[in-house]
Structure 1
Amino acid sequence: MTVGTELALETTDDLDSLRREWTALADLGGELFTTWEWASTWWRHFGAGREPLVTACRAADGTATALLPLYVAETEPARTLRLVGGREADQLGPVCAPADRALALDALHRVLERGIGDWERLVVDRVPPDIGWHEAMGGQVVKHELSPAIDIDGATWEEYLASRSRNLREQVRRRERRLKRDHEVTYRLSDDPDRLGDDFDTMLRLHRARWGRSSSFEGPREAFHRDFAARALEQGWLRLWTMELGGAPAAAWLGYRFGAREWYYQAGRDPALDRYAVGFVLLVHTIREAIGDGMRQYRLLLGGEPYKYRFATSDAGVFTVALRRSDEQR
């Protein structure tokens, strides 16, 4: 559809009522953190004290072309509209096909003009630059975060590796060779619901062994991530790898596969094995697997750590945009 097409806007506080349409639109968009599974799981864990206001943008025949999954956070100093999915997500936005993002933004203009939720402030967290929120809304970019990725574009593993620095190529081969020389190396992908809890425990233990107490899994976030991992496993999205040396866990990698993209979320490793660079070797394994399975992009997600840019081929970044309601909009 084209911008200017008049869409009917239908707002509801019931996420479940939109599940079928939400799923279809998220599949078109190919963005993990805009799926119904992510949003509904996030809402179950973090929705207390918040008012959901999800707007479906419908064509004349009633077909939903986009969803705007907003909520009002009444606990903030002003009544603030935000996107469902929270800062646990590494990228958010409207739920729609990429070609309909401008249309969704136009619909957001109309929703705001109507004073949805008696809003006083709008904060859209971690949206990609191609949506154009801050230019179109007249809002202020309050944060820019790096988000490197590997654009695979049909390359084989050897073609991709050849595009990287000579130093990286040598490290990949040398470290894998050394590890296999000294240890019996096994890579195990979690695919058994009955074992998922133990595999997640292992990942958390290794994550904390390397990083200490991490905000990613503290408080209610641990329960949320466990819950979403279980739902992702049901959908065939979960990529929870454990590297074992002689049968003992040495490193773990948590990610997801959705929309022909691999999403690296968190990882951990045993510091006692750092001389073998087990975290590096496991990361390389996950990239090789993603390329071999035909993924078109591998997202290293938030953060500008130098090691990511040794692998990354692009970084569009994400932006958090804030807008205050003007007197004319009241």
Structure 2
Amino acid sequence: MSSIGMGAQMQVDVITEIDELEKLHADWDRLYEVDPEAQLFVSWNWLVPYMRHYKGTWFVLAARPGTPDAPYVAILPLRMRTRMNKTGLFFNEINMAGNNAADYTGAICAPEHAEKALQAFGRHVAQMGWSRLNLENLRMSRERIFAFIGQFSRDIFALSEFSRVNSADNVDNCRCFAATLPESFDTYLDDVLGTNTRQRLRRFLRKVASGELRIARADASTYERDIETLLEMWRIKWGARKGDRLEAIMSTNRRVLRDSFKAGTLFLPTLWQGERPLGALAVFVDPVKKSLLFFMAGRDEEARSIPVGLILHGHCIKLAIENGFATYDFLRGDEPYKFAFGVTESRVNCAAIYTKNGSNVGDRLDPRSLDTVFLEVTKIHQAGQLARAENGYRQILASDPLHARALYGIGQLLAAKGDHREALEHLVTLVAIDPASFKVWHRLGCELQALSRHDGAINAFRQAQALAADFAPTRFALAKSLAALERVDEAIEILTGLIGERLQVRSVGNLRQKAEAMLQSLRQRGQPSYIMMNPQLNPAFRRVQAAF
């Protein structure tokens, strides 16, 4: 956890580790209870299990006034994502932590501190390294939204609001609908529903009461089966429309439903006719805000004569009223069937804040994303896309000049393209960071050797030998530098030892053959005919030459 001071009035802590997050649990629950704008998808029980699946990318901003021991007054859960643009450069974007699963997103605040806390959050986020901030499905008052977005300089950032209308059916997913529940189900039927809906619902609920139809609620022994039943019916209905995204959506929903059941926030009723499941609902339960939230449904598309959705929603609403719940929330989307349940409308906001130049703030990657970027750059390097890989390594090092794996990677890449001087610079930095790596010393020696700096190369190879005495490529490279300095006897000794051994290093290929060829060449140097043809090898000749 790190702390960022925001003047005397508000401090923002950045929480990135699970053990630190656990310490926030009590404050999170306390703020959730007192915040009138809080909703299930930012509650601890729903959101934290979802966040845990995004290890290394989620982070929580927590604000408190005054001293470090003051209680937190606001929490903003976020998630970092790393992407690559069309030019091959990496960039970061920030999403709300519940993105891809939560119908609503937002922050939780003590109401009296909300404005100042969101201003502090905005100032903090504006200084981070990212190029796009996605504020999707934001369920917050305009006052809170403006307090947050007002901290982003118009000189650097731009804001764009967008709609969420499905082109296939013209459903607007920024419109949200919920039914306010009266004290009794009869009152709901008589005063809220229309005549036709009321009559049909009563008639089919009587079929449930008589046993002609039955509704079973998922429990510990059936929830896995019931989740799969729901998802399979949903897939049959929507699979073709979701296309390539289907499996990812199914996987996310399966995980969310399982986690929610284990956390005690999922109610999953299934309507049966005999042994045939006709449909199921996934409904989230929020006992703090006294709300049920309808998440997804599946139904047998061949059971046309039975209003499966009406029966299951009616059943859930009846139970909600009997248990003192105040709201039945149909969440996002203005599908026509929702209007039959006596709903009122609200909206979520969808907007993006982005840098005008398209690059990360400060032209630096967020530190939390560097290892992810490195893995992608490594794949690009291995695929032979050297220019893009070099750009990636340089982006990493611009944010962290001491990133060891990036230093090694760019050193390797630059050496392969013949830029030995810059490769050497990176490896000199790296060997100071990781002096216990024989590979780093070996590669450092190779770069010194390529630049004909053989004394330095010999020292580097000796360091590598001290760490990995049996690494054959280092010994061969050492012999080369010794030979280049006319330390022929030492080179011959090393090569003779190599040839006489059973080399264990698979990657060296024809190293034995190279060693044999080099050994033969060195032995020829000792012959008088060879020295006569190459007088520079004669020590006396070199002394005379040096005198002039």
- When normalised by structure 1's length, the TM-score is 0.84
Contact kept? 2:42, 2:107, Cα under 8 Å: yes
Quickly say closer, same or farther: Cα 1:235–1:323, change in 2 above 3 A: same
Higher fraction of strand:
1
3-state SS of the aligned residue for 1:93? coil
Match of 2:231 in 1: 204
Confirm whether residue 122 of structure 1 aligns to residue 133 of structure 2: yes
3-state SS of the aligned residue for 1:295? coil
Higher relative contact order structure (alpha carbons within 8 Å, sequence separation ≥ 6)? 1
The CA distance in 2 between the partners of 1:150 and 1:37, in whole Å, is 23
Match of 2:57 in 1: 51
3-state SS of the aligned residue for 1:218? helix
Letter in 1 for 2:20: S
Contact kept? 1:66, 1:104, Cα under 8 Å: yes
Deviates more, 1:7-16 or 1:294-303: 7-16
Quickly say closer, same or farther: Cα 1:299–1:76, change in 2 above 3 A: farther
Quickly say closer, same or farther: Cα 1:214–1:284, change in 2 above 3 A: farther
Residue-by-residue CA offset, 1:139-176 (whole Å, 9 max, x unaligned): 43222611111122x43212222222223222322344
Question: Once superposed, what is the RMSD of the aligned Cα atoms?
Answer: 2.9
Letter in 2 for 1:127: L
Letter in 2 for 1:125: E
Match of 1:262 in 2: 292
Contact kept? 1:94, 1:101, Cα under 8 Å: no
Quickly say closer, same or farther: Cα 1:320–1:5, change in 2 above 3 A: farther
Identify the match of residue 265 of structure 2 among 226, 229, 237.
237
Identify the match of residue 187 of structure 1 among 200, 203, 215.
215
Letter in 2 for 1:150: A
3-state SS of the aligned residue for 1:159? helix
Aligned length: 319
Structure of greater Rg: 2
Match of 1:159 in 2: 187
Contact kept? 2:239, 2:246, Cα under 8 Å: no
Contact kept? 1:147, 1:315, Cα under 8 Å: yes
The CA distance in 2 between the partners of 1:120 and 1:132, in whole Å, is 25
The CA distance in 1 between the partners of 2:247 and 2:52, in whole Å, is 15
Contact kept? 1:94, 1:104, Cα under 8 Å: no
The CA distance in 2 between the partners of 1:126 and 1:170, in whole Å, is 35
Confirm whether residue 95 of structure 1 aligns to residue 108 of structure 2: yes
Please list every run of 5 or more consecutive structure 2 residues that lacks an aligned counterpart in the other structure.
Answer: 1-6, 86-90, 151-158, 165-173, 363-548
Quickly say closer, same or farther: Cα 1:119–1:320, change in 2 above 3 A: same
The CA distance in 2 between the partners of 1:159 and 1:76, in whole Å, is 56
Quickly say closer, same or farther: Cα 1:132–1:10, change in 2 above 3 A: same
Confirm whether residue 42 of structure 1 aligns to residue 62 of structure 2: no
Residue-by-residue CA offset, 1:179-205 (whole Å, 9 max, x unaligned): 767x6222111121x322111111122
3-state SS of the aligned residue for 1:200? helix
**Structure 1 residue 14: deviation in Å?**
1.8
Quickly say closer, same or farther: Cα 1:176–1:302, change in 2 above 3 A: same
- When normalised by structure 2's length, the TM-score is 0.53
**Structure 1 residue 134: deviation in Å?**
5.2
Confirm whether residue 172 of structure 1 aligns to residue 201 of structure 2: yes
Match of 1:322 in 2: 352
Residue-by-residue CA offset, 1:28-80 (whole Å, 9 max, x unaligned): 445221133443443344x37x7333211023342111112123322164532
Identity fraction in percent = 25
3-state SS of the aligned residue for 1:64? coil
**Structure 1 residue 320: deviation in Å?**
0.9
Higher fraction of helix:
2
Contact kept? 2:215, 2:272, Cα under 8 Å: yes
**Structure 1 residue 267: deviation in Å?**
0.8
3-state SS of the aligned residue for 1:206? helix
Deviates more, 1:83-92 or 1:202-211: 202-211
